A and B are shown apart, each in its own frame.
Chain A
Amino acid sequence: MAHPAEVEVLNKALSGIGVDEKSIISILGKSHHEHQRSIRKGCSKFFFEDERQFERWDDTAIKNLKLEFKRFKDAVVYSLMHPWERDARLLKKALKKGPQQYYVIVEIACTRSSDQLLGARKAYHSLYDRSIEEDLAAHVKASERKLLVALVSAYRYEGPKVKEDTAKSEAKALLNAIKNADKRKPIEDEEVITILTTRSKPHLREVYEQYKKISGNTITQDLEAEMFLRETIECLCTPHTYFTKVLDKALREDAHEDDKRALTRLVATQEAGNFKGITDKFGQRIEERVKGAYKDVLLGVLARGEINGKA
């Protein structure tokens, strides 16, 4: 007969993010018929008694397990990939999945350096025989099109030089656009798009500061209703906050599959600067929620990110 503790271990091993391979193996190793039967009876999360009197797997549970097992393979494949290929594949995937995933496009376009983004565009040519901008422009129908195409096409100046006067007037222009949101959606405003998609990141951070002064709120607060614009600014001006949010969402009990996927995306990204202090913040929750080989990869990458950040 299976020990109730073993049932508990198995339950735990198959819940959460990733799977605890070692625990599973240790239980399966000692399994014989009666043993397995009592496990099935005990794990009501995964099995239920069919009307023909046998304990069968719940189909949804199998589907979910497939996703959980897949996580390690994805982490491995992505980690070994050239960063350009990674980003190109992520962009393609997000585009294919549709509007629910367009935020990934914003994330990649805004958090990579100018040369990394160029590299992703080159890799996209190699992988798909098309340019990312032509695919985006052809498939994104709604008001986000202008913003998304311009974001992936940007080659921002990377120097520290910032013009305070320009930043002030652009902060004003953004405030105006937000105030007139009922007359015209900010995401379709030419000025807004131009500012967000052509200016350098240091310049935009200055615009962010200037905006606070004239509005009292941060621009992200005022853009509460505009998801893509808000995310664009967050990724460009406060990427650390953005990634913290992503990790937090992914590690919640009620996290969606899309949110959990973000973890693998972060594993693939390894943006050293953006991971500063993240292990401190999330180390504990990762230990609790994430399991097995996948957890080891995640923690390893975060540690390396910290080291690279300090280097």
Chain B
Amino acid sequence: MATLKVPTHVPAPSEDAEQLRKAFEGWGTNEQMIIDILAHRNAAQRNLIRKTYGQTYGEDFLTSLDKELSSDFERAVLLFTLDPAERDAYLANEATKRFPSSNWVIMEIACTRSSHELFNVRKAYHARYKKSLEEDVAHHATGDYRKLLVPLVSAFRYEGDEVNMTLAKSEAKILHDKISHKHYSDEEVIRIVTTRSKAQLNATLNHYNTAFGNAINKDLKADPKDEFLKLLRATIKCLTVPEKYFEKVLRQAINRLGTDEWALTRVVTTRAEVDMVRIKEEYQKRNSVTLEKAVAGDTSGDYERMLLALIGCGDV
């Protein structure tokens, strides 16, 4: 469930656009105004505002933003203003230009969006970057990472609840065989993880646990230093229990010496309208402190206020 709080009576997009324009005028910027408006509108409303702003002032709102703001706050506003498909395309493209650790971002997007959403990301990617997402991912990733990531972003998984129990049993066995022989990037492992529906995968992994005594991710911890294994475990987590995955990302982002703002911003802006409520529950369960408190303790200023607004703090 979403943590985004939208007022019952939402002003017309032209009013919002006007207020945002005012926020940029004069000395400095009225960041609180930006938070008050944008952090309390849903995706469709934000799209309208952006369109209206562009038509009224002849400039894309995001360009104005770039001119006036900098750093973490700007990034949070930028990401949140983008339409979700565009946002994911932006993040994915950014990830293909950065170092290998950004493989995680690509995997996260591919696995935690619905088939339909992932396809919209691919469409948005065409429009924005004049290339296909899969060609950039293929170009950026190498070896086993490419073997895993390209099919992940290309998948159009069946989204229904139909599950074949016989298949679940046989594929659990295949996974167990390959894993016990340490063939982690075996074609069969990749095939099952990158093509089966989430419902089918769940059934397979449940059966794995029942039949072999350990959850698959426990068996995949055999080599703690193996980076590919880490990614594979995270992939499975994203496909089956995404809110637990996101809790971990947030926990690691906040606990690090300093804060990994990019990860924090990414998770908050991409999940505020999706499942942030469940992620907050997981966070509190795991860390004995609310996410709000943790974020407030580790961030400051407008950046902090924006994040808190998105995770549902305070009044509308």
Q: Which residues of A line the B interface, CB within 8 A? A: 118, 121-122, 125, 129-131, 133-134, 137-138, 145, 149-150, 153-159, 161, 190, 194, 197-200
Is A153 in contact with B158, judged by CB distance below 8 angstroms? no
A157 touches B130 (CB 8 A): yes
Docked-complex contact B150 and A194, CB < 8 angstroms = yes
User: CB-CB < 8 A to B248: which residues of A?
Assistant: none
Q: Is the CB of B138 within 8 A of A194?
A: yes
Taking a contact as CB atoms under 8 Å apart, the answer to whether A154 and B119 are in contact is: no
Contacts of B22 in A (CB 8 A): none
Chain A contacts for B146, CB-based, 8 A: 190, 194
Interface code B89-127, partner A: CB below 8 Å = 1, 0 otherwise? 000000000000000000000000000000100110010
Q: Which of B151-185 contact A (CB under 8 A)?
A: 151, 154-160, 162
Say which size band chain B's interface belongs to. 20 to 34
- B191 and A131 form a contact (CB under 8 A): no
Task: Determine whether the beta carbon of A118 is less than 8 Å from that of B195.
Answer: no
B155 pairs with A198, CB closer than 8 A:
no
Contacting pair A133 B156 (CB below 8 A): yes
Contact among A118, A137, A161 with B119 in the assembled complex (CB-CB below 8 Å): A118
- B151 and A149: CB pair below 8 A? yes
A137 with B138: CB separation less than 8 A: no
5 tightest Cβ-Cβ pairs between the two chains A and B: A153-B154, A134-B195, A198-B135, A129-B162, A137-B191
B276 to chain A, nearest CB (A): 29
- Interface assignment of B285: CB less than 8 Å from any CB of chain A: no
The answer to whether A161 and B158 touch across the interface, beta carbons within 8 angstroms, is no
> Chain A contacts of B155 at CB under 8 A?
131, 133, 153
13 sampled A-B residue pairs with Cβ under 8 A:
A118-B119, A118-B156, A121-B156, A129-B160, A130-B162, A131-B155, A145-B187, A154-B154, A155-B154, A157-B130, A161-B130, A194-B135, A194-B150
Contact check, B154 vs A138: say whether CB atoms are below 8 A apart.
no
For window 180-199 of B, CB contacts with A under 8 Å fall at: 187, 191, 195-197
Cβ–Cβ < 8 Å partners of A159 in chain B: 126, 130
Is B131 interfacial (CB 8 A cutoff)?
yes
Closest CB in chain A relative to B134 CB, distance in Å: 5
User: Could you tell me if A131 and B119 are in contact, using CB atoms closer than 8 angstroms?
Assistant: no
Q: A134-B195, A153-B155, A154-B132 are in contact. List 8 more A-B contacts (CB 8 A).
A: A129-B158, A131-B197, A155-B123, A157-B131, A159-B130, A198-B132, A198-B150, A199-B132
Residue numbers in A under 8 Å from B195 (CB-CB): 131, 133-134, 137-138, 149
Least CB separation from B123: chain A residue: A155
Residue of B nearest to A190 (CB): B146
Q: Which residues of A contact B131 (CB under 8 A)?
A: 157, 200
Contact of B151 among A121, A122, A153, A158 (CB under 8 A): A153
Query: Min CB distance, B191 to chain A, in Å?
Result: 4
In the complex, what distance in Å separates the CA atom of A157 from the CA atom of B124? 11
Known: A118-B119, A198-B132. Is A125-B160 also a contact (CB below 8 A)?
yes
Q: Which residues of A contact B133 (CB under 8 A)?
A: 155
User: How distant is A261 from chain B, measured CB to nearest CB, in Å?
Assistant: 27
With a CB–CB cut-off of 8 A, which chain A residues contact B159? 125
Indicate if the CB atoms of A130 and B158 lie closer than 8 Å.
Answer: yes
The answer to whether A198 and B126 have CB atoms under 8 Å apart is: no
Find out whether the CB atom of A134 lies under 8 angstroms from the CB atom of B138. Answer: no
B72 to chain A, nearest CB (A): 32
- Chain A residues in 8 Å Cβ range of B119: 118, 155
What are the residues of chain B within 8 A of A118 when measuring CB–CB?
119, 156
Taking CB atoms, residues of chain B closer than 8 Å to A190 are 146-147
Q: Answer whether A125 and B158 are a contact pair too, CB < 8 Å, given A155-B122, A194-B138, A198-B150.
A: yes
Interface code B230-251, partner A: CB below 8 Å = 1, 0 otherwise?
A: 0000000000000000000000
Within the complex, which residue of B135, B147, B191 is in contact with A138, where a contact is CB–CB below 8 Å? B191
Q: 1/0 per position for B275-315, CB-CB distance to A under 8 A? A: 00000000000000000000000000000000000000000
A131, A138, A149: the one contacting B157 at CB < 8 Å is A131
- Nearest-neighbour CB distance to chain B for A113, whole angstroms, equals 12
In the assembly, what is the distance between CA of A29 and CA of B155, in Å?
Answer: 58
Q: Report how far A121 CA is from B116 CA in the complex, Å.
A: 11
**A72–B30 CA distance with the chains assembled, in angstroms:** 71
Bound-complex Cα distance A145 to B151 (A) = 13
Measured CB to CB, the closest approach of chain B to A194, in angstroms, equals: 5
Known A118-B119, A137-B195, A159-B126; judge A198-B134 contact (CB<8 A): yes
In the complex the two chains form, what is the Cα distance from A161 to B138 in whole Å?
19
Are B138 and A198 in touch, CB under 8 angstroms? yes
Q: With a CB–CB cut-off of 8 A, which chain B residues contact A121? A: 156
Smallest CB gap from A138: residue in B: B191
Closest chain-A Cβ to B54's Cβ sits at a distance in Å of 23
Contact B126 A153 (CB under 8 A): no
Instruction: Determine if B191 and A155 form an interchain contact, defined as CB atoms under 8 angstroms apart.
Output: no
- CB distance A158 to B197 under 8 Å? no
A134 and B196 contact, CB distance less than 8 A: yes
Contact residues in A for B147 (Cβ distance below 8 Å): 190
CB distance from A193 to the nearest CB of B (A): 9
